[in-house]
Amino acid sequence: MHTPTLAVTRTPLVAVYGTLKRGLRNHHWLDGAAFLGEDRLTDATLYDLGPYPAAKLEPSRGIAVEVFRVDARLLAGLDRLEDYRVRTPRKGDYDRLVQATAFGPAWLYLYNRPVAGFPVIREGPWLPR
């Protein structure tokens, strides 16, 4: 079981669980990033919003993520894609939190909007429809 790291860190890693994964439509945002491998996180649950998933910090049996090493430019691009707002993170679509992975601490984007009524994924990957 991986536990979240609440302290802010300057990790160069990001854990992705949806359209940013290899072979999916937004993976090009990670062009130039080094793929480190796959992991399962038990501190997050996914919700299937249709065209993309949303992660909430809720216990699960292990959601599937891919971990990448990114630079500041790539991370800034991901922040734009995910509508993460550095100064007001709760006002964007996503916030981000450092999550422990098998490859070290990695940023995980967490959805700020309500997810009631959407299908829940408590184990494994999100699959596009």
Return the CATH number at 61: 3.10.490.10
Catalytic: which of 38, 66, 82, 123? Answer: 82
Flag whether pLDDT at 4 surpasses 60.
no
Q: Decide if 93 is inside a domain.
A: yes
The structure's pTM equals 0.90
Q: Decide if 108 is inside a domain.
A: yes
Q: What is the structure's pLDDT at 8?
A: 42
Query: pLDDT tens digit string along 63-108?
Result: 999 999 999 999 999 999 999 998 898 899 999 999 999 999 999 9
Query: Is 58 a known active-site residue?
Result: no
**DSSP, residue by residue, the chain:** ---EE-S-----EEEE-STTSTTSTTGGGGTTPEEEEEEEESS-EEEE-SSSEEEES---SEEEEEEEE--HHHHHHHHHHTT--SSSGGGSSEEEEEEEETTEEEEEEEE-S--TTSPEE-EE-----
Q: What is the structure's pLDDT at 92?
A: 93
- Number of structural domains found in the chain: 1
Q: What is the structure's pLDDT at 39?
A: 98
Q: Do 63 and 122 touch, CB atoms closer than 8 A?
A: yes
Q: What is the structure's pLDDT at 5?
A: 41
Q: Decide if 129 is inside a domain.
A: no
Q: Domain containing 45: what range?
A: 4-124
Q: Decide if 71 is inside a domain.
A: yes
Q: Decide if 44 is inside a domain.
A: yes
- Of residues 7 and 27, the one with the higher pLDDT is 27
Q: What is the structure's pLDDT at 17?
A: 98
